[in-house]
Amino acid sequence: MSPVETVLVFVVIPAAIYGAVALLTLRERAAKTPRYRPGQDWDYPPVWWTANPAGVAQPVRSTDEEDAAQYARTAWGGARGSW
């Protein structure tokens, strides 16, 4: 093998492969819309998100004693690990 062929096989071909992969990964960033940065005007309508959409429509709990017994805390434990 000549030195030119060696450089071609061990330098140019791997560099071309790395370059192609880099262009494919950077292509998405260039195609996306710009991100919102703090201090910029917000030109979009508000979007409300909830993890429990069914819970949004539930009535507000009353403060009656009868209803308070229904919602009394029965579970123990939590982050401190006392079960």
Residue 40 lies in a domain: no
Among the listed residues 48, 69, 67, the one whose alpha carbon sits nearest the alpha carbon of residue 59: 67
Domain span at 5 = 1-31
Residue 69 lies in a domain: no
CA 29 from centroid of its chain's CA atoms: 16
Euclidean distance between the first and final Cα of the chain, in Å?
Answer: 73
Number of folded domains that form the chain: 1
* 37-80 pLDDT tens trace: 888 888 888 777 767 767 666 665 555 665 666 666 666 655 66
Q: At residue 7, does pLDDT exceed 70? A: yes
Residue 16 lies in a domain: yes
pTM score of the predicted model: 0.36
Are residues 83 and 76 in contact, defined by beta-carbon separation less than 8 angstroms? Answer: yes
**One-letter identity of residue 31:** A
Are residues 15 and 9 in contact, defined by beta-carbon separation less than 8 angstroms? Answer: no
